[in-house]
Amino acid sequence: MDERGPLCVGIDPHASLLAEWGLDDDVAGLERFSRTVVEAVADRVAVMKPQSAFFERFGSRGVAVLETVVREARAAGTLVVMDAKRGDIGSTMAGYAEAYLHKDAPLFCDALTVSPYLGYGSLSPAVALARQSGAGLFVLALTSNPEGPEVQHAVRADGRSVGATMLAHLAAENAGEEPLGSFGAVVGATVGDLSSYDLAINGPLLAPGVGAQGATATDLPKVFGSALRNVVPNVSRSVLRHGPDVGALRTTAERFAEEIQAVVAAP
């Protein structure tokens, strides 16, 4: 983030974007789209985030493309966050962790998005393997979708909301780590005033919502306050719609990175 600016570019090859690029909605189109995005920005942004669902819909051939995308992006020096939002219990959660967080796995990534809504403790196998592999997690905490608050803002018997509870768990995971711990939270850039939440978790805050969902770089200080320095804003459609031209993708990503960096660096 210090070297390349705090920007995460999503790789979301859904059917409408493939069509905008003039590509067929098939494995060949998927591969052309995804590898073009990697070519354009993987050597200059801090993070890339492939959305697993858009690859899985093509079955095993789509997952094979995802393996290639992850490998090529990491080889170019970017960190790869797999947006798979896995969440389960016991041996099943361990299986998901093995798929994305074991160093020998074909889909090994630098971090994985996970859902804690079977209870934070259900994530223990993923936490343990992430630590062992030098990888990390992004835990859904305060998401940008309109349905999220019915769970995340619900108040527990102790008076603390569910979202705040998840942030507290992450702060405990990251205690004492420098410069940051590897256990981050997903906190939407469009969720509004979060002054009642303690975002100082000593870990990164993955912030979807910039661009097509309506948030701008200038909105980030109002949402994240003193935690702004640790925010990794995610931009997907607002960059991807400029393909298939590699130069246009690159220029757009660089513009977003510069805008965000200017806000983060402002006194």
Q: How far apart are CA 140 and CA 144, in angstroms?
A: 10
pLDDT score for 265: 80
Taking the C-alpha atoms of residue 87 and residue 132, their distance in angstroms, rounded to an integer, is 19
Contacts of 244 (CB under 8 A, 6+ apart): 21, 22, 23, 32, 33, 36
* Model pLDDT, residue 203: 98
What is the predicted pLDDT for the residue at 266? Answer: 78
**Per-residue pLDDT tens over the stretch 145-191:** 989 999 999 999 999 999 999 999 999 999 999 999 999 999 999 99
Residue 2, pLDDT score:
85
| β partners of residue 113 | 138
* 213, pLDDT greater than 80: no
What is the rounded CA–CA span in Å between residue 119 and residue 220? 29
pLDDT score recorded for residue 267: 66
pLDDT in tens, 75-130: 999 999 999 999 999 999 999 999 999 999 999 999 999 999 999 999 999 999 99
For range 6-11, the mean pLDDT: 96
Average pLDDT, the chain: 96
Q: Which residues are catalytic?
A: 85
Q: What is the dihedral of CA 174, 178, 183, 184, to 10 degrees?
A: 110
List, for residues 32-85, the tens digit of each pLDDT value: 999 999 999 999 999 999 999 999 999 999 999 999 999 999 999 999 999 999
Instruction: Please choose, from the candidates 204, 205, 214, the residue with its C-alpha nearest in 3D space to the C-alpha of residue 235.
Output: 214
pLDDT of residue 52: 98
Residue 212 pLDDT more than 80? no
Measured in whole angstroms, the distance separating CA 101 from the mean position of its chain's CA atoms is 15
Asked whether residue 248 carries a pLDDT value surpassing 90, the answer given is: yes
Tokens standing for 41?
């920005």
Q: How far apart are CA 158 and CA 65, in angstroms?
A: 46
Q: What's the 3-state SS for the chain? A: CCCCCCCEEEECCCHHHHHHCCCCCCHHHHHHHHHHHHHHHCCCCCEEEEECHHHHCCCHHHHHHHHHHHHHHHHCCCEEEEEEEECCCHHHHHHHHHHHHCCCCCCCCCEEEECCCCCHHHHHHHHHHHHHHCCEEEEEEECCCCCCHHHHCCECCCCCEHHHHHHHHHHHHCCCCCCCCCEEEEECCCCCCCCCCCCCCCCCEEECCECCCCECHHHHHHHHHHHHHHEEEEECHHHHCCCCCHHHHHHHHHHHHHHHHHHHHCC
Which residue is it, tokens 């790789």? 11
User: What pLDDT score was predicted for residue 179?
Assistant: 92
pLDDT attached to residue 108? 98
CA dihedral sign of residues 25, 29, 30, 36: negative
**Percentage of the chain lying above the pLDDT 70 cut:** 100
What structural domains does the chain harbor?
Answer: 8-191+203-265 (3.20.20.70)
pLDDT for 251 equals: 97
